[in-house]
Amino acid sequence: MSVTIKPVKDQSLSAETAFDLGDFLAVRAARVNDALDRFIPRAKTPPATLHRAMRYSLFAGGKRLRPALCLAAAQACGGDESEALPLACALECIHTYSLIHDDLPAMDNDDYRRGKLTNHKVFGEGIAILAGDALLTQAFEIAAQCKGWERYPQSTIILELARAAGSLQLVAGQVADLEAEGKGISTRQLRYIHERKTSALLRCSVRLGAMSANCNSAQLYSLSDFGYHVGLAFQVIDDILDVTQTSEKLGKTAGKDAQAQKATYPAIVGLKRSESIAQRLTQRAFAALKSFDGHAAALDALAHYLLERDR
């Protein structure tokens, strides 16, 4: 996949830049998959059912976007991607845990994810809950393997991850998402949900990558802004795709949001306005990369890809 980044209004890169995002993603996904395979206990290690369940969802074909954002941020700040690799893996473990739990009957009750039966459909609810628990814990075990950096000691890294995944961010977003079902909520409340259930982990992904490069405070500020806006745009687009795409394309049951009376952008502001909101958020993300002066080509291409994605 070759993404040609064209200069559009308000976009950060002034010159047209060709960046092979397909190649970037394929190389990073392979590295992350290899590392995850080493970090996670073997499928035969007792309790084998648990380790099989963890591996089932972890290797079910996720796009590895959070790791890619983490590694791209490390690159943009002049870091060594291999130092960011454990953090990229930790992020994917947290993401996968959240999907396993999100799919449970007690939550969104989904039968398909990433084109496969959901974890609880294969292993039963008890094991799916425990596989999610174990992946969340595993994430911190993996992250603890980073050595820490001058400006960002190991404790800062662990705190960053814990805060993004905890009761004020990821879990808070999920609580608000569940509590908003079937209710008419304001766009302000909807943004609260999206900021927490999706944007927090994407923002954390770029922040951790930047920290692994011992970034300065200006770089951290810009990349936090980038991650926040990309994260919001990502969820608005996720909402749109649920309405516009087929189940085959998405690898999960399309139209579930409307069926479950979920609070989503298309439900609250309509499809057309949702699309322009996603565009605007992505432009804000591009603007945040301006100070990188062309050194953030991978992040720029990733933001384009997220805006244009169809699954």
Q: Among residues 51 and 113, whose Cβ is nearest to ligand FPP?
A: 113
Q: Does 119 bind ligand FPP (CB under 6 A)?
A: no
Residue 93 interacting with ligand FPP (CB under 6 A): no
H or E element in which residue 218 lies = helix 217-244
- Rounded CA separation 180/175 (Å): 9
Q: From the list Mg ion, ligand FPP, none, which binds 65 (C-beta under 5 to 8 Å, kind-based)?
A: ligand FPP
Q: Counting runs of H as helices and runs of E as strands, what totals does the chain give? A: 16, 4
Stretch that binds Mg ion, among 99-107, 159-167, 207-215, 233-241 (CB under 5 A): 99-107
Q: Return the residue of 65, 77, 200, 213 that touches ligand FPP, per CB under 6 A.
A: 65
- Close Cβ partners of 118 (under 8 Å, ≥ 6 residues apart): 100, 103, 110, 111, 112, 128
Q: 303: closest CA among 293, 292, 287? A: 287
CB 303 within 8 A of CB 230: yes
Choose, by CB under 5 A, the member of 81, 103, 108, 160 that binds Mg ion. 108
Q: Does 114 bind ligand FPP (CB under 6 A)?
A: yes
Element (H, E) at 92: helix 81-102
- Given the complex with ligand FPP, which of 121 and 290 has the nearer CB atom? 121
What does DSSP assign to residue 263? Answer: -
Integer CA distances (angstroms), 9 to 13, 18, 301, in order: 10, 18, 16
Least distance (Å) between residue 197 CB and ligand FPP: 4
Residue 257 makes contact with Mg ion by CB under 5 A: no
Look up residue 71 and give its two tokens: 């590694």
Q: From the list ligand FPP, Mg ion, none, pick the one residue 51 interacts with, judged by a Cβ distance below 5 to 8 Å according to partner type.
A: none
Query: CA–CA separation, 194 vs 201, rounded Å?
Result: 11
Instruction: By CB under 5 A, tell whether 103 contacts Mg ion.
Output: no
Given the DSSP bridges, would you call strands 17-19 and 3-5 parallel, antiparallel or unpaired? Answer: antiparallel
Q: Which residue number, 197 or 207, has a Cβ lying nearer to Mg ion?
A: 197
Residues from 160 through 189 that contact ligand FPP (CB under 6 A): 170-171, 174
Residue 72 as a binder of ligand FPP (CB under 6 A): the answer is no
Query: In the bound complex, what is the minimum distance in angstroms from residue 252's beta carbon to ligand FPP?
Result: 8
Least Å from the CB of residue 256 to Mg ion? 9
Return the one option of ligand FPP, Mg ion, none that residue 63 interacts with (CB less than 5 to 8 A, by type): ligand FPP
- Asked if 28 touches ligand FPP (CB under 6 A), the answer is no
Instruction: Give the one residue of 32, 53, 57, 62 binding ligand FPP; rule: CB under 6 A.
Output: 62
- Using CB under 6 A, which residues numbered 185 to 204 contact ligand FPP? 197-198
- The torsion angle over the Cα atoms of residues 84, 156, 303 and 174, rounded to 10 degrees, is 120
Is 242 a binding residue for Mg ion by CB under 5 A? The answer is: no
E-strand ranges in the chain read 3-5, 17-19, 112-113, 116-117
Q: How many residues bind ligand FPP (CB under 6 A)?
A: 15
Q: Residue 266: is the preceding peptide bond cis (ω within 30°)? A: no
Closest CA to 253 of 266, 264, 241: 241
Q: Which chain residues interact with ligand FPP by CB under 6 A?
A: 62-63, 65, 98-99, 101-102, 114, 170-171, 174, 197-198, 235, 238
Binding site for Mg ion (CB under 5 A): 102, 108
